A and B are shown apart, each in its own frame.
Chain A
Amino acid sequence: MSIAVRNLVKMYGDTSAIDDISFDVKTGEILGFLGPNGAGKTTTMKIITCYMPPTSGTVAVDGLDTAAQSLEVRRKIGYLPEMNPLYMDMNVLDYLEYSAQLHGLRGGVVQHRIKEMVHVCGLEDVRHKDIGEMSKGYRQRVGLAQSMIHDPEVLILDEPTSGLDPNQIAEIRELIRKLGAAKTVILSTHILSEVQATCNRVLIIHEGKIVANGTPSQLQQEFQGADTITVELRSGPGDPAGAVAPKLKSVEHVTGVSLLTQDGGTSTFEVHADKGNDIRESLFRLAVAEGWVVLEMHRRITTLEEVFHKLTTA
């Protein structure tokens, strides 16, 4: 079940919420949507789920056009909207039954699916409770349960973990991973570790445009700046820090060396090297040759947070 988004534009009056976005989601992929508030994540999701049409451009879900074959598309999609709206006056079982019926399920399969969703989402203890009386974490699970009640091939989840405490976040994340294994999933989030934990691909949107698209590790590599290695050495009394630095500098690819701390014969340096060159081995060999003791060596990796920050604050 693939999703193909082509040249999507959405204008609200004169301002564009999304501006010529194109991307594909392959079957079985979990795609993470990242971006600051107002970047166009929710708008894109609302268009994919047929809530509103784009100003121009097309979305095809499994080859079906969201404008021309809206009902067929909606049948294949499970959707958890932002803020997770629910009928507060219904209890869990009634609400899940209603959702199942609206998805066209009839007869025995309805009760079967409800039972399964109640079990999978851990709702056994609250199944007779009114949704309005439940905690936020439970409501979120009900929202997930209704989005998957018809066993959809595509899941669109708009900030599924917003407003939850860390334990609940871990639970919901686990749930998505478990249930999303056989589905095509798009989820939006503010939490970058969530993307690393659950998604196989990341799309970063900023001001209505896609600014990055790849696996989390690809993005980290792509936006990796100069390599920075922190190394702590004991160089002995005959070799003070002042003498060590030039030798470090002479290693291939090294562009700069700065002394961070010095304590007797032990000194810590920050060594900068050209992008994409791992010089840890060369540094180690140099230390051995010079008779220094390497106490600590650490290569700084660009985190997804830094990639995100770099791309969305321009």
Chain B
Amino acid sequence: MAALSLSNVGPIYRREIRSYFNSAVAYVVIVVFLAIVGWYFSNNLFLINIASMRIVFELVPLVFLFFVPAVTMRLLAEEKKSGTLELLTTKPVRDVEIVLGKFLAAWTLLAATLAPTLIWLVTLMILGNPDLGPVVAGYIGLMLTGGVYIAIGIFASSLTENQIVAFLIGLVIVLAFFLADKVLLYVPGFLAPVVEYMGIDYHFSSIARGVIDSRDIVYFGSILGFALLMATASLERRKW
């Protein structure tokens, strides 16, 4: 096998970005996201008089649970259904390049969704003096959490040609990761540390406190990498 060249990630990434932003998908996602999160943020600010980004970091992982699988569900399922995947995989393109290009495109959409929330941060900085450390860490944590969800969503999308099924599979898997550290009461004692470690919220809240620990980075990196690997393997399943 030749040296791993990823030169086709670029064209695939650009096509997906264009497909998100030329259709209504990106704008609907961004507007609905900002409306939901913004409502809670402004309630906090104006009604309860708490000038804090904390509500954002508490709410967004929850909203991502539903948003991310919706954003990723079509990425491979649609190409399978329309037959364009056959076109794509008979070009001199590696399966891993297809998965990476699509992953990066969805991640970019996620960043574009989060970017407008920085305006709230600016508002807070005008009104008061927020501690920027945890805020920066919180955003990094959100991008990592979103990245893991996207990787899982792409894997779900690679399993089926039905987008609704892809959405539901993605939702169930990310929900399992989200709930892992919240069901410790029902888990036998010796398994508890393992299950807690698998919980994505456990690692996110540790980062959102402002401490970027290598253990958390390793966690996010390995789940993300493993999900992308599974998606690639699932694409290659046609060869089995």
Contact = CB atoms under 8 A, between A and B. Distances in A.
A51 B84 contact: no
Contacts of B214: none
Which interface class (under 10, 10 to 19, 20 to 34, 35 or more) fits B?
Answer: 20 to 34
Nearest to B11: A101
B87 A77 contact: no
A71 B97 CA distance: 13
Contacts of A98: 11, 15
B84 A87 contact: yes
B90 A71 contact: no
B23 A89 contact: yes
A83 B83 CA distance: 8
Given A53-B239, A71-B2, A102 B90 contact: no
Contact of A102 (B11, B82, B86, B239): B11
B91 A85 contact: no
A81 B86 contact: yes
Interface in A74-91: 74-75, 77, 79, 81, 83, 85-90
Contact of B86 (A51, A74, A90): A51
Contact of A51 (B2, B15, B238): B238
Given A52-B238, A94-B18, A85 B87 contact: yes
Contacts of B49: none
Contacts of A81: 83, 86-87, 90
Interface string A145-189: 010000000000000000000000000000000000000000000
A86 B85 CA distance: 10
B212 interface: no
A85 B239 contact: no
A269 to B, nearest CB: 56
A158 to B, nearest CB: 10
Interface in B1-36: 2, 7-8, 10-12, 15, 18-19, 22-23
Given A49-B90, A102-B93, A103-B91, A85 B82 contact: yes
A235 interface: no
B92 interface: yes
A268 interface: no
B89 A101 contact: no
A83 B10 CA distance: 27
A101 B8 contact: yes
Contact of B84 (A50, A74, A86, A94): A86
Interface residues of A, number: 28
B11 A89 contact: no
B94 interface: yes
Nearest to A50: B90
Given A74-B90, A89-B19, A102-B93, A52 B84 contact: no
Most A Cβ at <10 Å: residue of B18, B88, B92: B92
Interface in B63-85: 82-84
Interface in A84-143: 85-90, 94, 98-99, 101-104
Contact of B239 (A52, A87, A90, A99): A52
B11 A79 contact: no
B23 A79 contact: no
Contacts of A79: 87, 90
Given A74-B92, A81-B87, A101-B11, 17 more contacts: A51-B86, A71-B94, A75-B92, A79-B90, A81-B83, A83-B83, A85-B86, A86-B84, A86-B87, A87-B19, A89-B19, A89-B23, A98-B11, A101-B8, A102-B93, A103-B91, A104-B8
22 contacts: A46-B86, A51-B238, A52-B238, A71-B2, A71-B92, A71-B94, A74-B93, A81-B87, A81-B90, A85-B82, A85-B84, A86-B82, A86-B84, A87-B15, A90-B18, A94-B18, A102-B8, A102-B88, A102-B92, A103-B92, A104-B92, A146-B87
